[in-house]
Amino acid sequence: MKVIRDPVHGYIEIDELTTTLIDTPQMQRLRRIRQLGLSNLVYPGANHTRFEHSLGVMHLATMLTEQISSISAEEKDELRAAALLHDIGHGPLSHVTEGLIKRYTRKQHEDVKPILMKGPIADILEEHGLNASTIADHIRGQSALGQIINSEIDVDRMDYLVRDAHYTGVAFGLVDHVRLIHEMQFYEDKLVVGRGGLKAAESLLVSRFLMHPSVYYHHVSRIAETMFTRALDKLISQDIVDPFELRYMDDEHLFETMRHDEGYAGEMVRRLDERRLYKRALHVGFESVDKNVLRHRGKIERMEGEIAEIAGIDVTDVLIDIPKPPEIEEMQALIKTDGGMLHLDKASNIVATLEQAHIDNWKMGVYAPREHREAVGRAARDVFSVKKRTKQFRLTDL
């Protein structure tokens, strides 16, 4: 048994199975995939990778399986392998490229079965008597055991919340994951949280709620990611980048490919390199735009063209970012009480209020170069029928 020193969890033990898996090219690639994409443009310390996150998830999965006596030794090995390998399907910059990969290949990052079924990982799993298909099911959360790493409240969420808070330096990663893990158990093949873990479960949702606007949906990160994905989409449409190869590339490989482009994509990446980002011409929530604005998610380019025409600028100087509405899967986690099973939002008044709070945090953005910011903002307000805010007077104005 070897140990790895982790800044979040302390010493992480790795056995022979995990040691050999760690040494595969597929796992080593994760050292070159940033966990938070382009968030280091906001938080300079956010350079941690999918590699250390994978080690953390394996560590927490091991803690959880060790306290459940019904899990066999073989199943523990399966889950350790699944937890370690759960992110090998991520493309460069993690979630930044996930939408494009899904659109062009119909694959999500959890769809790792083809990667597990061939090459050195397949050989290692076979050597240890482990079934690659079963491990793929665990990673997708399609098995009872798989709920530990992919469900409403899982060790994946626990690790990334604490780890992302650590590396960004924000004070919102206060998740009592040790207490939460000790209160988790299987009940009728469902992973549930005991009543004693309710406060720890609440801390996880509150932490995630606070991290969303501060880190995951910070406007600078959204601007940079929109610039990057639009540039990458252009290269894919020009057959310069093969979307099916993205899951085998790392961050620098893709950046270098884009830097060599002499057109739109190259200009966007040079802007990112020099932090010459587009600016917010419009940044509003549902208090200013009707929820029907979500229907425009499928026709972004048309809307950009309309705004550009009104503003009298080139369409490449307008970027629209309409995120999906908030999805809070954790609210459906099951809490085991003396009176039976309750969903988390029914067991906790705190959690019940977070759904509306998440909706209040939602923001859409229209971005443009600094010199076109005002013209684009005026046009965007007209196109999206932005409601005028009621002016508030200070006492000194009266």
DSSP string, 177-233: HHHHHHTEEEETTEEEEEGGGHHHHHHHHHHHHHHIIIIIT-HHHHHHHHHHHHHHH
- How much is the average pLDDT of 24-45? 98
pLDDT at 392: 52
Within a 10 A sphere around the Cβ of 306, how many other Cβ atoms? 17
Which CATH number goes with the domain that contains 96? 1.10.3210.10
pLDDT at 102: 96
CA torsion angle 104 106 108 112 (round to 10):
-110
Within a 10 A sphere around the Cβ of 307, how many other Cβ atoms? 29
Q: Token digits for 1? A: 């048994």
- Count of the separate structural domains present in the chain: 2
Same structural domain, 147 and 3: yes
Residue 340 lies in a domain: no
- How much is the average pLDDT of 106-116? 95
pLDDT at 1: 85
Residue 180 lies in a domain: no
Closest to 161 measured CA to CA, from 219, 196, 200: 200
Measured in degrees and rounded to the nearest 5, phi and psi for residue 109 equal -70, -20
The strand pairing partners of 334, in sequence order, are 192, 343
For the cut 50, the answer to whether the pLDDT of residue 36 exceeds it is yes
Determine the residue type at 365: G
pLDDT category at 301 given cuts 50, 70, 90 is very high
For the cut 90, the answer to whether the pLDDT of residue 254 exceeds it is yes
Give the 3-state secondary structure of residue 5.
strand
pLDDT at 175: 85
The strand pairing partners of 191, in sequence order, are 186
Residue 256: partners with Cβ closer than 8 Å, 6 or more residues away: none
Same structural domain, 1 and 89: yes
pLDDT at 390: 55
For the cut 70, the answer to whether the pLDDT of residue 396 exceeds it is no
Q: Are 77 and 83 in contact (CB under 8 A)?
A: no
Residue 149 lies in a domain: yes
Same structural domain, 25 and 140: yes
Per-chain mean pLDDT for the chain: 94
Same structural domain, 142 and 253: no
pLDDT at 391: 53
Q: What is the spatial distance between Cα 128 and Cα 101, in angstroms, rounded to a whole number?
A: 32
Q: Are 98 and 90 in contact (CB under 8 A)?
A: yes
Give the 3-state secondary structure of residue 191.
strand
Q: What is the spatial distance between Cα 217 and Cα 322, in angstroms, rounded to a whole number?
A: 12
Residue 348 lies in a domain: no
Residue 211 lies in a domain: no
Same structural domain, 303 and 378: yes
**pLDDT per residue as tens digits for the range 74-94:** 999 999 999 999 999 999 999
pLDDT category at 398 given cuts 50, 70, 90 is very low
pLDDT at 167: 97
Which CATH number goes with the domain that contains 292? 1.20.1250
Residue 231 lies in a domain: yes
Same structural domain, 9 and 133: yes
Residue 352 lies in a domain: no
Q: How is residue 241 annotated by DSSP?
A: S
Same structural domain, 142 and 277: no
- Which range of residues forms the domain containing residue 128? 1-164
pLDDT at 178: 93
- Higher pLDDT pick, 8 / 326: 8
Same structural domain, 157 and 263: no
- Percent of the chain scoring above 70 in pLDDT: 97
- How much is the average pLDDT of 224-250? 97
- Beta strand extents in the chain (DSSP E only): 2-6, 10-14, 184-187, 190-194, 279-284, 319-321, 334-337, 340-343, 364-368
For tokens 């290949």, name the residue. Answer: 105
Give the 3-state secondary structure of residue 128.
coil
Q: How is residue 90 annotated by DSSP?
A: -
Residue 189 lies in a domain: no
- How much is the average pLDDT of 364-392? 91
Closest to 92 measured CA to CA, from 246, 261, 259: 246
Same structural domain, 114 and 252: no
pLDDT at 355: 83
Report the range out of 26-30, 170-174, 341-345 with the highest average pLDDT.
26-30
Same structural domain, 365 and 290: yes
Same structural domain, 82 and 148: yes
Same structural domain, 20 and 155: yes
Determine the residue type at 66: E
Query: What is the full DSSP assignment across 350-397?
Result: HHHHHHHHHHHH--EEEEE-GGGHHHHHHHHHHHTTPPPPPPPPPGGG
Among residues 148, 164, 180, which one ends one of the domains?
164
